Structure 1
Amino acid sequence: MEAHRSVARSAEVVMLGDTAYDAGFDGSPSVRSRVVSGAIRMGMRPFLHRVPGHARGIRTARSTVDAASLLLRPNQRVKVRQVVDPRVESGRRRRSLRGEWIVTRDTGSTQDVQDARDALDVEHARPHGAVLYLHGGGYVFCSPRTHRSITARLALDTGLPVFAPRYRLAPEHCFPAPLEDALDAYRWLLDRGVPAAGIVIAGDSAGGHLAASLTAEICRTGLPRPAGTVLFSPWVDLSCELSIQAQRRARDPYISARSARRVARLVVGPAGFDDPRLALLACPWTDTPPFLIQVGGAEVLRPEAEELARALNDAGADCELQVWKGQMHVFQILNRVLPEADAAMRETSRFIRSVVAADPAGTEAA
């Protein structure tokens, strides 16, 4: 709790238009944060800067990431069930839905044990809410397994089950295939009795782009509106125009704007960047749920997060932007190591609890 209180005491304010936004942790980065950032700058960034812009290289790198994820120690306080549902239909095609259903396994009483079993029994349970988490990885890497440090923490902090779908990746499946899969996942939750007023959509990096795009698509198509949306270091501008401009000023230890642009060309495929569902900054953002955006102060994607917050603000949406001083891209994934990441996840839990508790009847009807 001390880390959480220090966030509130040391918050700075970012002005976007006429609206003030809490800017999150304004203290100097912790020793742990500086050490980790330095190690990543020396070890990971040279590799990521050379991410290949062709399909064969991407597949090789993906296999490496997937193999490394098998070494990650699972959190013993949560239980993970693999979900494979073959009944999702899209037009004339029948497409299966895959992912992970994550719940806390706290066993303080017999009722807690039964509640955990019921939450895992997604065919019969009717949870009062859930987090739909869309993992990052540039739309080409990673999986629900690689992001369990975030999804497990969300389940533990909020008490809500977390569903992390395994959406299709580029270059085999270009956009909008990931968005179609995310929509399937949202409908899957609704079909199983989870009320829209209890669903929070969340994602990091490319998953942050996907979470925002999914929120916009839900509002555009008239599906029941979710309770809120959380974005960690969102990759807002896939054309990378803003991040290329910011590259010289930012001291991002992790992300290279130029390598991101190479990957983006694979994500959009032959259709290019003309799909309006890619352009988050041009989205009308009418009748959207509340947003929480967290971004590291040192990362190259910070200007994109600020511009998205500005666009939401201009549309009249409720958006809370937190800029965490000195932090790198998706620092929340290190929430068991970095005090700033721990505090950021507490802030996320605070936001999720507040929006899920807000007038469910009114949100459901929107």
Structure 2
Amino acid sequence: MDPSVRSRTISGALRLGVHPFMHRVPGHAPSIRTARSAVDAASRLLRAGSRVRVVPLADPRVESPGDRPVRGEWVVARDAPETPAEGAILYLHGGGYVVCSPRTHRSITSRLAVDTGLPVLAPRYRLAPEHPFPAALEDAAAAYRWLLDRGVPASGIVVAGDSAGGHLAATLAGEICRTGLPSPAGIVLFSPWVDLTCELSTRAQRRARDPYISAYAARRVARLVVGSAGFDDPRLALLTCAWADTPPVLIQVGGVEVLRPEAEALADALTASGADCELQVWKGQMHVFQILNRVLPEASAAMRDAARFIGSVTAPAPKESEVAA
């Protein structure tokens, strides 16, 4: 299906007004801090919507010496029952590991909460360059353990994220396996930034008509993310991970975005390892188009598909009596 008129209009405006700026974003700490301040200020104008409640979370984890504090927010549908959660979505926001926050991504987290009926935990993980990798992974893992410690079963948890948060969600899945934690029910990745070396996206830059993301700028930012350790940490390399015992994965990527080859390569790697991976390429859509689900019909449809997937992987197994019947 061809992109909607709204989609073409917004993409055209971004291609003319935003992409040239994004392409020239300098890769040094002062510019990142300036951009972060601007994004944070703009995010204060965003509203979560009347259908959800946003509850701040700040748990110092004093009962778990050595574990990271968990800070962020719960996003809960207003009509959700006041009962202990039997499932949850752990949502890791994008922003290149250097900008954004749970607040900037409330259009996604609130839609997930409403469409699935599950509470969404959006942690405020530490950002680079002040806190290079693996700081964000440590915070994401602490948030996952926090859910388990609060009685949410792993079989009811879906780990999700967009862009850099998609990379973080996939990296967290690998860390869960390596550390012996119980596996989540599923993983949802929106336009994941799979390869921080940006080799695939840089090769795709010339032919892609991404109205927003620049592979060259992403590569400059990635150097700040990895810090002095460089790209040698094996946890960064999603395409060479051993994806054994991986839960079902849904990947959604825009058809014109420069990160599309990375998403396709990750889907191939998962499938080759025997994982159940569903890849959706949305024709004509840009990077993390799902964030515009209140505006774009394609984004709204993509969010419904994500909710369908989450419902399918978190649905309780049928009882023996039901199977026999």
The alignment's TM-score, normalised by the length of structure 1, stands at 0.85
Answer whether contact 1:88 1:97 (CA < 8 A) is retained: no
The one-letter code of the counterpart of 1:78 is V
The one-letter code of the counterpart of 1:357 is A
| Paired position in structure 2 for 1:122 | none
| Paired position in structure 2 for 1:244 | 202
Question: Could you report, residue by residue, the CA deviation over 1:100-127 in whole angstroms, capped at 9, with x for unpaired residues?
Answer: 0010112xxxxx6xx24x5xxxxxxx31
Q: Percent identity?
A: 76
For structure 1, list consecutive stretches of 5 or more residues without a partner in the other structure.
1-26, 107-111, 119-125, 362-366
Distance 2:100 2:88 in 1: 22
Answer whether contact 2:248 2:275 (CA < 8 A) is retained: yes
| Paired position in structure 1 for 2:135 | 177
| Paired position in structure 2 for 1:186 | 144
| Paired position in structure 2 for 1:100 | 73
Q: CA deviation at 1:311?
A: 0.3
| Paired position in structure 2 for 1:326 | 284
| Paired position in structure 2 for 1:29 | 3
Question: Could you report, residue by residue, the CA deviation over 1:36-91 in whole angstroms, capped at 9, with x for unpaired residues?
Answer: 1011112221221122211111001100000000111331110000000011688x
Distance 1:94 1:313 in 2: 34
SS in 2 for 1:284: coil
**Matching of residue 58 in structure 1 with residue 16 in structure 2:** no
The one-letter code of the counterpart of 2:295 is V
SS in 1 for 2:245: coil
Q: 1:350 aligns with which of 308, 313, 318?
A: 308
Distance 2:92 2:72 in 1: 10
* Stretch of structure 1 that moved more, 217-226 or 162-171: 217-226
- How do residues 101-140 of structure 1 correspond to structure 2 at under 5 angstroms? 101-106=74-79, 115-116=81-82, 118=83, 126-140=84-98
Distance 1:235 1:360 in 2: 36
SS in 2 for 1:298: coil
Distance 2:62 2:172 in 1: 17
Q: CA deviation at 1:259?
A: 0.1
SS in 1 for 2:141: helix
Q: CA deviation at 1:219?
A: 1.2
Change in 2 beyond 3 A, CA 1:146/1:225: same
| Paired position in structure 2 for 1:43 | 17
Distance 1:273 1:136 in 2: 19
The one-letter code of the counterpart of 1:302 is R
| Paired position in structure 1 for 2:230 | 272
Distance 2:212 2:237 in 1: 24
Question: Could you report, residue by residue, the CA deviation over 1:157-202 in whole angstroms, capped at 9, with x for unpaired residues?
Answer: 0000000000000000000000000000000000000000000000
| Paired position in structure 1 for 2:176 | 218
Distance 1:153 1:78 in 2: 9
Question: Could you report, residue by residue, the CA deviation over 1:285-334 in whole angstroms, capped at 9, with x for unpaired residues?
Answer: 00010000000000000000000000000000000000000000000000
Q: CA deviation at 1:358?
A: 5.2
SS in 1 for 2:90: strand
| Paired position in structure 1 for 2:157 | 199
Answer whether contact 1:198 1:360 (CA < 8 A) is retained: no
Distance 1:196 1:105 in 2: 24
Where in structure 1 do 4 or more consecutive aligned residues deviate above 6 Å?
none
The alignment's TM-score, normalised by the length of structure 2, stands at 0.95
Answer whether contact 1:237 1:279 (CA < 8 A) is retained: yes
Answer whether contact 2:67 2:142 (CA < 8 A) is retained: no
Distance 1:279 1:132 in 2: 22
Change in 2 beyond 3 A, CA 1:314/1:39: same
Answer whether contact 2:97 2:164 (CA < 8 A) is retained: yes
Distance 2:40 2:31 in 1: 14
